[in-house]
A and B are shown apart, each in its own frame.
Chain A
Amino acid sequence: MENMENKVARIPGLVDWSTDEVRIQSAKCNSCGTYFFPKEHYQHKPGCSREGVEDVLLPNKGKLASYTIQHYPCPPPFKTDKKITPYGIGLVEFEDEKIQISGIITDTDLKSLEIGMEMETTTLSMFTNEEKQDVVTWAFRAVK
């Protein structure tokens, strides 16, 4: 079990690891049914009353809708302690919620990537901050 007290998201409010499963923090409009991420970036169907928006957690698992392999380091403010290139970026589809989320692919053989494969949400350690905390982002990995 990871030490949760010592783990902090680089930007809060995007990924939740408070339970056994790591999940993306999305929001849903109960009037037009649209899910959006990040939850501050509202998206509604034209004509929607925009009433009844609630925070929701996406399921832990989804399917790979597309991917790319990034061969040069992402410029700042992106920051990692270790070199991570080449790294995968996946677009993971959450079918019932009708939303695709992009994120770094971790802990997965990049050669095995294939559209349609099952992926799970996880966290990726990017660097250690001055408080010696593990600074993380959301990420996806192939379901083993």
Chain B
Amino acid sequence: MRDVYIIGTGVHPWMGFSEKIFVDFAAVAVEGALKDAGIEWQKIQSIMAGIFIYGGNAGHLSGQYLESIFGETGIPVVNVYNACATGSAAIRMAYNSVAAGETDTSLAFGADVSPKGFLTAKSDNAVQDRDVIRWKMAGQPNPIYWALECTKRMAKYGTTDEDLARVKVLMSEYGSKNPDARFKKVYTMEEVLNSVYVSAPLRLYEICPVSTGAAAVIVTADKELIAKANNPVKINATTMGSALYGDPTIRISAVSCPAVPEAPMLSESYCASQKAYEKAGIGPQDIDVLELPDNSSWHYLQYLETCEFCGEGEADKMLRDGETKIDGKLAVNPSGGFSSFGEAMAAQAVWQVVEAANQLRGRCGERQVKDPKVAMAQTYGLMGNSGTTIMSI
């Protein structure tokens, strides 16, 4: 396998609902990545596209629609969906194509336009699609799932309302320093604790909304392109994981879960991160910057444990002690996280890698971590989808 480097990244800033079409957002991110890499479009030898599930035929073939904008060149274009880990799948395929020598330079991207209003069921066949049951019978929007786990955590480890609010306070401070963030207001503890409950114990400012955004990454093993790139970032590992039998987490769309754990919580994320540590020969103790999926304050805490940055029930203390701040032992979400961005399903996992890579490249201005060498991007998708990317400079 060849060494693979990120040489170009691009983002369309995150925002709320837009009348613009998804591929226009994608084009902005891809244009940015090409400019950053300093290469012509014709250098791209494969495209790994995250699909936009609400975009009909165009959204499901997002790679072809993107290719047509820049000019069709006959290269392999693969369109992929893994829920909120969709971008991880695209990056993994781009990496594998280049590492294996199938192509020298590959583009991974994702773009998503927030649906107007709420996410909801995508079919009406309850036998085939369990998701229909949770919407029609159980009245369970996504934050319910996070809240059920959060209640368990509070009872088991003594996580407090203040701990949950502290996550938002910190994320909002960093998000305010990120020009690509959708939410730039800085929140106080009092404001967060006074915000309305959505799914108690989780409050409005302790969960993330759905957003519009796009991100793109160009990876290569072409020595000439690496040599002329501005601070190329080596990908040490990019992996995906699915769930393990006996994972006690109640997964989004499910209406049941095992009562007796036979696997770790969020086992898909546990598996993805363990595989990445093993493959990279890099452990959690070596990571300087971590972008984790803070869909809610509960996720922020749980992911530190799932990915073994601390022991079970110890994440609250890490947060309280300031160890997860930009100047702490492990800089967690210096981007401002999903809390400041919101979820743009096809795009967010690519964006997390862009943010982590930009930290290593020293491009993050006011939110820059001091001289980081190793960064990790960790994703979370519903129904047992996760990806981990470990990068170094």
Contact = CB atoms under 8 A, between A and B. Distances in A.
Interface of A: 10-11, 13-14, 36-38, 40-41, 43-46, 65-72, 74-79, 84, 86-87, 89, 91, 93-95, 97-104, 115, 137-138
Nearest to A116: B155
A87 B152 contact: no
Contacts of A138: 137
A68 B151 contact: yes
B120 interface: yes
Given A45-B245, A76-B120, A98-B260, A89 B140 contact: yes
Contacts of B118: 75
A16 to B, nearest CB: 14
B309 interface: no
Contact of B258 (A40, A99, A102): A99
Interface string B67-87: 000000000000000000000
14 contacts: A40-B128, A44-B245, A45-B245, A46-B245, A70-B199, A77-B120, A77-B135, A84-B139, A89-B147, A91-B148, A93-B259, A102-B257, A104-B138, A137-B136
B198 interface: yes
A99 B147 CA distance: 19
A98 B130 CA distance: 20
Nearest to B153: A66
B127 interface: yes
Given A11-B133, A41-B130, A65 B200 contact: no
A100 B259 contact: yes
Interface string B172-202: 0000000000000000000000001111111
B149 A66 contact: yes
B53 interface: no
A91 B130 CA distance: 17
Contacts of A94: 259
A43 B250 CA distance: 14
Given A46-B245, A69-B199, A71-B197, A102 B259 contact: no
B133 A14 contact: yes
A10 B137 contact: yes
B3 to A, nearest CB: 34
Given A67-B148, A69-B197, A102 B260 contact: no
Interface residues of B, number: 43
Contacts of A78: 135-136, 139
B255 A101 contact: yes
A66 B202 CA distance: 14
A38 B199 contact: no
B250 A100 contact: yes
Contacts of A87: 139
B256 interface: yes
B132 interface: yes
A75 B151 contact: no
B365 interface: no
Interface in B238-284: 245-246, 250, 254-260
Contacts of B135: 74-78
Given A68-B147, A89-B140, A104-B139, A98 B155 contact: no
Interface string B343-364: 0000000000000000000000
Contacts of A70: 139, 141, 144, 198-200
B126 interface: yes
Contacts of B257: 91, 99-100, 102
Contacts of B254: 102
A27 B245 CA distance: 17
B139 A71 contact: no
B152 A66 contact: yes
A68 B133 contact: no
Given A75-B117, A77-B120, A102 B140 contact: yes
Contacts of B130: 38, 40-41
A102 B138 contact: yes
Given A67-B151, A100-B256, A115-B151, A74 B141 contact: yes
